[in-house]
Structure 1
């Protein structure tokens, strides 16, 4: 059991979805005072059921917080949370820190940080990796960059939610850039795993045995080991949705175009995620790419006959 900290902090967690809920509960376990907010009544009810407190708006949650942990979907939602109507930037206490976990273009992270810091608040560029299970255990990986003051103010939060915190620079943008490299690889690996499994099905192979052999061989990847069981179970309930990689690999393409750098593998992977989303699978598990390949080839997958 996590012991209470010497100096409990007041935290606001904005976004109580599959990742944010686990992060908020990790902060509670560490002995902090946590107020959550989500636009979804079901999400706030889940937090309350686990002992959390909620506010009627993001501004109400952030008004007296030492740190605000933002677990929204993207840059647009992050900007609206900070600076939109009823934005929290003006109500956050001076010197409080905003931890931004959304995956976004590094240039956007730098712009948001500059705007918030000009108002006397701190900004930590802090995208996350690990998934809902590790979030619930307080064992995320955080790829963070920001000023020394932002790190100092955010430290109690980071200690509670993360197993590994990488300090990647003294200004916003570096954390976002590291996350995009991770997402490039993750998207390509998911697409490759799904392609391989569907191709194995076309060869008439026992897919359970394919999983056993490949996970013990050089062709394995973390994504193959993690996602292929979803395919074997025929279970595409979203642990990580297709639409996430439509967004993230789209950001990779935008960054690469600006940098005039070729990224053909991630471009090909993006097309498969777009095909899955266009087929109505956008909110289903990203292992759904295997169903796109199977449909193209007319082969059966567990629970999904051709």
Structure 2
């Protein structure tokens, strides 16, 4: 790949654990990568990895054929794209904006319409997978957009993804798929937290419970992935409680608009809200187990962290 050509330039906006991993995967694939973040330390880490730091989305997007936005929500995406110093100020005609934030599908549709009216392309592409998979270039993208948007983004997506699902021709469809995933993920985390703490309350060896359940029909990906955080008493955030306060809140808004009942998601949301309200919002989402433990007076490993 000729990294001196404009076609090989990719901008990454948002260099947290996910965005920096994605930027590094792009660099490994031979792309010329620029990036920006509100945290200067993240920009420095990109530079140390071989990328080019920028002071704003507009500067990062200059001469890039693909702009990948790895921010938290719709409000941040709108600021990155259309706010002062936003990427839309400098994106070349025909360049594609790849939006990876989890958001209400209606917001994704709106952003797509607004950007495409300027002669640029928009790919609604929320992702699934953690920081390790981002660094490995093995994320899963749940993407929707025009054929032109997919074609322009494809080389960069291939560098960042193990799997790209093409879910429809319009922005918003990828976001809707992601919200179904987040509904299940949030419910499963809450259920796993409830189950492992209930097991502790029964006086069971919870490490043995983990061994048994992961070999049994009651297992889930979230139980298998999150319960070790509880067993180790390690609530360093891989994905925070506040992420599911946001995402399950979006599910509630969507369901209310559709007049569709989602009682399990609603119950899970209340547990994440209570956990955040107890001061654990920035901690790992397995902290829901700590809330159950504190309510019931049930000890968990190293629950002083």
Q: Shared topology, TM-score over 0.5?
A: yes
Structure 1 position 181, deviation (Å)? 0.2
* Cα distance, 1:278 vs structure 2: 0.5
Runs of 4+ in 1 over 3 A off after TM superposition: 4-8
Report the counterpart of residue 251 of structure 1 in structure 2: 250
Write out aligned runs for 1:51-200 (5 A): 51-200=50-199
Within the alignment, does 1:32 sit opposite 2:31 as a pair?
yes
TM-superposed CA distance for 1:50, in Å, is: 2.0
| Cα pair 1:122 1:150 within 8 Å, conserved | yes
Partner Cα separation in structure 1 for residue 233 and residue 44 of structure 2: 30
Q: Is the 8 A contact 2:57 2:81 kept in 1?
A: no
Contact 1:230 1:287 (C-alpha < 8 Å) held by counterparts? yes
| Deviations 1:206-243, CA, capped at 9 Å, x for gaps | 01000000000000000000000000000000000000
Quote the residue 2:260 is aligned against. 261
- After TM superposition, the structure 1 stretch with the greater mean CA deviation from structure 2, 51-60 or 263-272, is 51-60
Residue segments in structure 1 that go unaligned for 5+ positions in a row = none
| Cross-structure match for 2:21 | 22
TM-score, normalising length: structure 1: 0.97
Separation of aligned partners in 2, 1:199 and 1:46: 42
User: Equivalents in 2 of 1:44, 1:225: separation in Å?
Assistant: 34
Unmatched 5+ stretches in structure 2: none
Q: Secondary structure at the match of 1:19?
A: helix
**1:302 paired residue number:** 301
Distance 1:47 1:301 in 2: 38
* TM-score, normalised with respect to structure 2: 0.97
Count residues in correspondence. 302
SS at match of 2:145: coil
Question: How much is the aligned-residue C-alpha RMSD, in angstroms?
Answer: 1.2
Q: Distance in 1 between matches of 2:55 and 2:84?
A: 15
